[in-house]
Each structure stands twice: as C-alpha cells, then as structure tokens.
Copies of this chain bind each other. A is one copy, B any other.
C-alpha cells in the first residue's frame, strides 16, 4: 500500500472526505480519581494499579456487563451498564502500551508472556502493542492477535486503522501511551469515568496537555459511585 510510509496525520490528510467518513473513531475510556490519577502511587507487579488504585474500578467490577465479558457470573445492571457495553463494542483494533501488556521491561527474554488475560483475551481483534523491542505476533484464542510495533504511536495507529476498517480504534492504555496520543492530537473522542476518591499521588492522565487539543463535552452519565463524562477532541 502506497500510504504505508506516511505518518497517520499525513495519511489522514490525503484521504478524501468520503474515505474519512468511512473510518471509525480513535477513542479511549479510562477511570480517573477526582484528584486526577488513573493509578495510585508505588505501582508494582503485585500492585499494578498502585496503592489504593483498585478502588478506581469498583464501579466496573460489580457490573454484570463487565463480569460476563470476563467469564464471571452475577453482578448488577445500572446506568454504568451502557457505558461498558459501548466500550466493549464497535471497535475493530486495539493499541496498547507495553506496560499494559505486561510487567516485563527491556528486551523480551522469550515469548512466553502473552498478556494478563489468559488464553482468550477480552479484545477479539488485532491488538498493537507498542514496544522498543521486536517480537513475533502472538495469536490467541477468540481472534485476539498481539502484534508488536517498534516504530511509534503513529505507525501503530495507521496499522490499527487499516485493521479496523470502518470500525473504531480503541486506545486501551496505559496512561502514558494514552497521553502520547492526546498530545499528538490523534484522539477523536474519549470517556472519563470520574470516581469520588482522592489518591493523593500516582499517575496523572491529563498532564502537560495545554494546547494539544480543544474539547467539547458531549455526554454526562450519573451512575452509582461514578460519573461518566464524554468529550470530543479538536472540536
């Protein structure tokens, strides 16, 4: 494909309006504490969300919609349910950072680590993992395939968009990769699920982003223990 060597912005810029309309959105969805953290302080292998960070996702873990897609039974239905259903549908490819894929740093010692999610990860699409170290693709059950991309976020996004076709590309995290996409102006839309806890430290999502995008508030959903806010970028 002749557009292969172009950055995503250049690629997008050369598309005809009708082609742009056929492309899905680039979006992410993340839970944030009221004081702005998406993970607590002192993240570790034992504590991947940092101290206190698990409390961020209590609203999610209790939902039937989430439990079902992760092979668990029970759970509740409430105004957060459509938020999770929307998050888990409509995308055709995923991009994530290496820290989201696993705790291993530096070169891959071998290819035995295949993500946190067991043999059948909940993505069911191609997943493009950003890394500085080459590695062969890992085909999983349920149509998830992990591809490892070593030439940066714009290249990963271009590959994901080709894989997704008219469907959305989901930026799955973590915070650092998501922030890179925001800073580069590559996000179309995002959801913040704002939880009334004060973590006091940890990883900030919205750090140093002045001027990177303009935002339009497009939806607010009040749910038990969380408010879901949706914003359109470059409005």
Contact = CB atoms under 8 A, between A and B. Distances in A.
Interface of A: 34-36, 52, 192, 194, 196-201, 204, 206-213, 215-217, 219-220, 222, 225-227, 229, 231
A117 B36 CA distance: 33
Nearest to A216: B196
A215 B35 CA distance: 12
Contacts of A201: 208, 210
How many identical chains are in the complex? 2
22 contacts: A34-B215, A35-B36, A35-B206, A35-B207, A36-B36, A194-B194, A194-B229, A196-B215, A197-B215, A198-B206, A198-B209, A198-B210, A198-B212, A198-B215, A199-B210, A200-B208, A201-B210, A217-B222, A217-B225, A220-B220, A220-B222, A220-B227
A226 B217 CA distance: 7
Contacts of A216: 196
A229 B227 contact: yes
Contacts of A222: 217, 219-220
B200 A35 contact: no
Nearest to A235: B196
A201 B208 CA distance: 7
A219 B196 CA distance: 12
Contacts of A52: 210
Contacts of A200: 208-211
A187 B212 CA distance: 35
A222 B208 CA distance: 26
Given A35-B209, A196-B217, A198-B206, 4 more contacts: A36-B36, A36-B204, A198-B211, A220-B227
